[in-house]
Each structure stands twice: as structure tokens, then as C-alpha cells.
Amino acid sequence: MTHGSSAVGDVDLRHHGDREVGDRLVDLAVNVRGPAPGWLLAPVVEAIGSLAAYPDARPATAAVAARHGRPADEVLLTAGAAEAFTLLARGLRPGADVRRAVVVHPQFTEPEVALTAAGHRVERLLLDPADGFRLDPAAVPDDADLVVIGNPTNPTSVLHDATTLRRLLHPGRVVVVDEAFMDAVPGEPESLAGQADDGLVVVRSLTKTWGLAGLRVGYLLAGASLVRRLAGVQPPWSVSTPALAAATACSTPDAVRWAEQLARQTEADRARLVERLTGAGLRVVGEPRAPFVLCHHTRALHLREALRCRGFAVRRGDTFPGLGPQWLRVAVRGRETTDAFAAALVEVLGDVLGDALRDVHGPGA
Ligand SMILES: Cc1ncc(COP(=O)(O)O)c(C=O)c1O
């Protein structure tokens, strides 16, 4: 285990995929699937007509609760999943409520940033690439009273099974499962969102699958007393009326079916991407289950730079604890984009390997 540090130590934990995308680059760096569909934007736009009134979160809270089969007092709407991490970090006081916080890496870095900013001392549990970044719950120290893990995990694309995650639950421990990408897994078989266990907090995002990153909307699901406590540290009216309208619209049975269909399309698109990446000679981690894949190449950073020159942005891996310059994360896109990207990748690999041979054998190689 290693210790996290705030600003953010050895790697820039505040580096996100959006910083990788310039004006003219094709974006395979950000994990938002695409623009929001028209039927979802309609109620968001309509809500603009009510902007003179303060937001009322109750209808959206009821809709999200119904979608997950939970009582409304076990739901807290948030300004994206990111706000949920901040509320957890502030609502669970360092020392008083949390003595040993463990963040399972590699994963999305904002939970660690939020915890550190709130005064928690964060320990990192680094999963091993040799195990395909899979979790052995026994590796989490018994006295860890706060554990944060992503499922499916960004950036590894690993989907942990629900049984494994449930083994993390202990009396006196809060387990936070970041399910920001769970709605991209058809049927959500490993989701814990519907389960009301003591100490379990599930964080969901509505910004990825639904194309609403700029709107800021998500929620957390937890026991009623923990929800009350986290609501107590949330700024008033944190989630705007249009964002609440989106949460309601994303929670209907039709919307859930729409997401399921998109998730199936994502599976097919991802299979194509994996085939292209491995065909080009990159190693893809395990069996990816999220709308992005993590891959390994000894000259990954060179590849990333060369791909940028050819108009494609992919996410660097070296700002994730537990990864390094040999890792890249590539977003799943439609067939045309994937094929164009793959063609550029093959060319770039030829150039990079040519350079490497010249380094070894000299200019005549
Ligand atoms: C795994 C994961 N969780 C949470 C978030 C934050 O999501 P939101 O936009 O809902 O704040 C991200 C954003 O990239 C993410 O990758």
C-alpha cells in the first residue's frame, strides 16, 4: 500500500481526459458516449422556463428511488458523481468517523482528491496488472473504515463481481462503489445500487451514457441516516432545475431501456476496437466491460503524441496511480471512428517501431 498525497503528489490527479482534446482532434480521450438524445434534452430545455423558482429535488429523488427500487430517503441527487465524492469526504469527518481511508487504484482520481482536500489521509491499494487489476478483498486492511472502489473501473474497464464487492462490507466500515459507468453494462448484473446494506454507498453519474457532462447531474444511494448526514453538508439547491429534470427523464423504464440498448451497441463497438488494438500489437487489459479500454505498449507515450499529430486524442495512463507511461485509455466509439483511428494507429506504430529500430541499429536500419 502507498499513501496518497494532496496536490497531488507524484502524479497530477486533476488531469482528466477533456484536457487531452484540442479543437481539431477526434476525441477518444473523454468517456462521455456522445451528445444527449433529443427526447432527453426536451425536458431539460423545458425546465429553463422554471428558472425563476428554486429547484425542488423531490420529484427527481422519487423517480431515481423508483428506478432502483429504494425508498426516497435513500437517494441524494448531486451535481454529478463528483459532488458525491466531496460530500462523502466532508460528511465523514477525518479522525472522528474515518481513521483509515483506502482508495483502490488505478481508478478515477477525484475521490482521492476530495478526501485529501477534506483532511483525510488516504492510503492507496494498488491492484496488480498481472492479476488483470482484479480485487482480492483480503488485500484491504481489516481496520480500513472507508474503502472506495470503481465498478466498472475507470481506467481499467474491469467489472468486479457483486459478490467480491460485498465481501468488503464490514460493520463500522463505509464502502463507496463508484458506478459512474454501470449503465453502460447491459443488464447491470454486478450493480449494488438496489442493495440497502449498512455502510454501502453507491455513486452514480448521469453525465456519461446520457451525454450530460456540462449539466452536472448524478446521485448517491445509501442508508437513510447516511443520506441525511451527506445532505447536511451539501450546499443548498446544489442540483439545478434542468439537471433535476434530466434525472427524472433518465429514470423512466423507457429511458433505462434506451440505455440498455446503447450498452449493447457499446459492447459491439468495443469488440471491434479491441480487435483493432490487439491486431495492431497493443495489449488490452483483461475483458473490458466499460465504454473504454486500457491498453499497454512499451512506447505508449510516443504513440499518444504521434496519434495527436494525426488528429486523434487518447487518454494518457501515467496520471493514474498504479499505471505509468506505458498505458493508454481509449474510448469506445462508433465503427467509422474506430476504423479511422485504427488506420492511424497502424501507421503510427510503423513510424514508432521504425524510430526504435534506428535507435538500436543506426540510421541505415
Ligand atoms: C469513474 C468516474 N466516476 C465519476 C466521474 C465523475 O462523473 P460526473 O461527471 O458525474 O461528476 C467520472 C468522470 O470522468 C469517472 O470517470
220 CB under 6 A from ligand 1? no
Write down the pLDDT at residue 356. 63
What strands, in cross-sheet order, belong to the sheet with 218-221?
2-3, 122-126, 101-105, 146-150, 174-178, 200-205, 218-221, 75-78
Q: How far is the CA of 180 from the centre of ligand 1 (A)?
A: 6
Which pLDDT band holds residue 12 (cuts at 50, 70, 90)?
Answer: confident
Q: Residue 236: pLDDT above 90?
A: yes
Residue 251, pLDDT > 60, answer yes
Share of the chain above pLDDT 90, in %: 88
Check residue 4 and give its pLDDT. 45
Residue 128: count of CB within 10 angstroms of its CB: 11
pLDDT bin (cut points 50, 70, 90) of residue 5 is: very low
Find the 55 Cα to ligand 1 centroid distance in Å: 23
Is residue 271 scored above 50 in pLDDT? Answer: yes
Ligand 1 near 20 CB (within 6 A): no
pLDDT tens-digit profile of 119-164? 999 999 999 999 999 999 999 999 999 999 999 999 999 999 999 9
Helix (H) or strand (E) holding 78: strand 75-78
Report how far ligand 1's centroid is from the alpha carbon of 82 (Å): 6
Q: Which of the four pLDDT bands, split at 50, 70 and 90, describes residue 2?
A: low
Checking if the pLDDT of 343 tops 50, the result is yes
The CA-based diameter of the chain, rounded to the nearest angstrom, is 72
Instruction: Give yes or no for residue 148 CB within 6 A of ligand 1.
Output: no
pTM for the predicted model, two decimal places: 0.93
Evaluate whether 122 touches 103 at the Cβ level (below 8 Å).
Answer: yes
Question: What's residue 318's pLDDT?
Answer: 93
> Which of 16, 87, 208 should be mutated for ligand 1, with most atoms under 8 A from CB?
208
**Quick check: CB of 154 below 6 Å from ligand 1?**
yes
Q: Which ligand 1 atom is nearest residue 107's CA?
A: 1
| Confidence bin at 350 (pLDDT 50/70/90) | confident
Q: Mean of the pLDDT values across residues 167-191? A: 97
* 3-state helix, strand and coil shares in percent for the chain, rounded to the nearest 5: 40, 15, 45
Does residue 200 have a pLDDT over 80?
yes
At residue 6, the pLDDT reads: 35
**272-304 pLDDT, tens digit each:** 999 999 999 999 999 999 999 999 999 999 999
Strand order in the sheet with 292-296: 26-28, 312-316, 327-331, 292-296, 283-284
pLDDT of 18 > 80? The answer is: no
Q: What is the pLDDT of residue 360?
A: 55
> Which pLDDT does position 31 carry in this prediction?
83
pLDDT tier at 364, thresholds 50, 70, 90 = very low
DSSP of 279-325: HHTPEEPSS--SSEEEEE-TTHHHHHHHHHHTTEEEEESTTSTT--T
Centre of ligand 1 from the C-alpha of residue 14, in Å: 12
- pLDDT at position 357 is 55
Q: What value does the mean pLDDT take over residues 294-323?
A: 95
- 291 ligand 1 Cβ < 6 A: no
Residue to probe by mutation, ligand 1, list 154, 201, 239, most atoms within 8 Å of CB: 154
For residues 296-316, average pLDDT: 95
Per residue in 22-43, pLDDT (tens digit) is 668 999 998 888 899 999 999 9
pLDDT in tens, 39-77: 999 999 999 999 999 999 999 999 999 999 999 999 999
pLDDT at 169: 98
CB of 205 within 6 A of ligand 1: the answer is: yes
Of 293, 307, 292, nearest to 32 (Cα)? 292
Residue of 20, 27, 205, 238 with the most ligand 1 atoms within 8 Å of its CB, for mutation? 205
| 209-234 average pLDDT score | 98
Distance 323 CA to ligand 1 centre (A): 19
Q: What is the pLDDT of residue 227?
A: 98
Per-residue pLDDT averaged across 165-182, rounded? 97
Nearest to 259 by CA among 246, 272, 243: 246
Neighbouring C-beta atoms of residue 16, cutoff 10 Å: 16
DSSP for 172-194, please give it.
Answer: T-EEEEE-TTGGGSTT-TT--TT
Look over the chain and give the mean of its residue pLDDT values, rounded to a whole number. 93
Of the pLDDT bands very low, low, confident and very high (cuts 50, 70, 90), residue 79 is: very high
- The rounded distance, in Å, linking the Cα atoms of 89 and 83 is 10
